[in-house]
Amino acid sequence: MPTQQLTLRQPDDWHVHLRDGAMLQAVAGATARQFARAIVMPNLSPPITTVETALQYRQRIREALPDGSRFEPLLTAYLTDAIDPAEIERGFRQGAWVACKLYPAHATTNSAAGVTSIEAITPVITTLERIGMPLLIHGEVTSADIDIFDREAVFIERHLAPLLARHPGLKVVLEHITTSDAADFVRSGPATLAATITPHHLHINRNAMFAGGLRPDFYCLPVAKRELHRIALRGAATSGNPKFFLGTDSAPHARSAKEAACGCAGIFNAPFAIESYAAVFDRENALDKLEAFASKFGPRFYGLPLNAGTITLERQPLEVPDRLHLNDAAGTAVELVPFHAGETLPWRLA
């Protein structure tokens, strides 16, 4: 008989968008329900670029959590061309943020203030290397002449490989990898290089966006790629290699903003994220590898303690609703389409 129950050390989410205001209040509970900690992305409008705004944002996240929640948000600094390395170091030393996020300018949602030239921010990178602060990278080139499906592979070749060569001590997480090229590069790279993998890139390939019509709920950045890449990512995630760990990239946008003439990129997978990963590991006969991927490799890379608590998953059908109506603090519902809408998942949190 297959395993019916699975108890894991409590996992963390090493890449999530919690947003701000009403959306933050609506979605924070979904992440806190399963994860003990999360690396919270700084691409707010305006982005988190100062210690002061990071501390204020952390307070707003805490206020948005359900009563009694012990969830700990780990904040990140948003790199710009003009960011001051001293401010980054000051925030790191006092625990206001734990990593820096590099968005190439115009790569994705709220990245207009991002970095236009990685070489030009060498003083910041040198600071990160010296103080041991991880650099989290959205790894896509942005030039219009590079096909959208090639942007990750080209980024690795043009920018990531030279960056690692220039800064051998720099800790780097290549975020939300989507290609076999990225998986291979990380696997064969130095021990200072790791990657996060999302549930959606393990479940869907690019055909999902066009199945029976245009499907905005499967549109995210980096965009899902061919099936061979999805298979490579499943191999990486379930391999037991500590360079690959959990990061959902849950990126909520209201249904009205997704189903629009120019729909936003982002998949809201937070409500059933651990269940979504469990379905993959089960299918790959790798449930014994789930705990390390979800709960051990991330904290080890960041140099943080493992969580003491546990969660239990049980093999019970979980029907994912077509839509969620999540309330903000004023009781007004935000309508969102969750990842796996209308599907039944094989595992659920007990």
Nearest approach in angstroms of CB 269 to ligand NCD is 10
Nearest approach in angstroms of CB 67 to ligand NCD is 27
Under the binding rule (CB under 6 A), the answer on residue 69 touching ligand NCD is no
Q: How many C-beta neighbours within 10 Å does residue 290 have?
A: 24
Which residues, at least 6 apart from 28, have a Cβ–Cβ distance to it below 8 Å?
18, 61, 64, 65, 66, 71
- Phi, psi at 99, each rounded to 5°: -155, 165
CB 349 within 8 A of CB 6: no
The rounded distance, in Å, linking the Cα atoms of 151 and 61 is: 33
Nearest approach in angstroms of CB 221 to ligand NCD is 4
Please report how the helices 273-283 and 227-237 are oriented relative to each other, as an axis angle in degrees rounded to 10: 90
Task: Name which of Zn ion, ligand NCD, none residue 266 binds, using a CB cut-off of 5 to 8 Å depending on partner kind.
Answer: ligand NCD
Tokens of 194: 């790791």
Task: Name which of Zn ion, ligand NCD, none residue 43 binds, using a CB cut-off of 5 to 8 Å depending on partner kind.
Answer: ligand NCD
Nearest approach in angstroms of CB 59 to ligand NCD is 21
Measured between alpha carbons, how far is residue 196 from residues 78, 146, 184, 244 in Å?
A: 18, 24, 13, 6
Tokens of 265: 């990129």
Under the binding rule (CB under 6 A), the answer on residue 220 touching ligand NCD is yes
Among 249, 275, 282, 291, the residue binding Zn ion under the rule CB under 5 A is: 249
249 included as an active-site residue: yes
CB 100 within 8 A of CB 302: no
Site string for ligand NCD, 21-60 (x = CB under 6 A): ----------------------x-----------------
Among 221, 294, 334, 337, the residue binding ligand NCD under the rule CB under 6 A is: 221
Under the binding rule (CB under 5 A), the answer on residue 181 touching Zn ion is no
How many residues of this chain interact with ligand NCD, rule: CB under 6 A? 11
Tokens of 286: 């790798």
Among 10, 50, 53, 108, the residue binding ligand NCD under the rule CB under 6 A is: 108
Among 146, 254, 257, 265, the residue binding ligand NCD under the rule CB under 6 A is: 265
Under the binding rule (CB under 6 A), the answer on residue 269 touching ligand NCD is no
Under the binding rule (CB under 6 A), the answer on residue 258 touching ligand NCD is no
The beta-strand segments (E) located in 91-239 are 99-102, 135-137, 172-174, 193-197
Nearest approach in angstroms of CB 264 to ligand NCD is 6
Measured between alpha carbons, how far is residue 303 from residues 75, 131, 171, 197, 346 in Å?
A: 15, 13, 11, 19, 33
Placement of tokens 């670029």 in the chain: 49
Q: Catalytic: which of 249, 282, 322, 328?
A: 249
Nearer of residues 175 and 291 to ligand NCD, judged by Cβ: 175
The rounded distance, in Å, linking the Cα atoms of 57 and 251 is: 17
Nearer of residues 139 and 298 to ligand NCD, judged by Cβ: 139
Task: Name which of ligand NCD, Zn ion, none residue 257 binds, using a CB cut-off of 5 to 8 Å depending on partner kind.
Answer: none
The rounded distance, in Å, linking the Cα atoms of 176 and 138 is: 8
Site string for ligand NCD, 109-148 (x = CB under 6 A): x----------------------------x----------
Residues carrying an active site annotation: 249
Binding site for ligand NCD (CB under 6 A): 17, 43, 108-109, 138, 220-221, 249, 251, 265-266
Binding site for Zn ion (CB under 5 A): 249
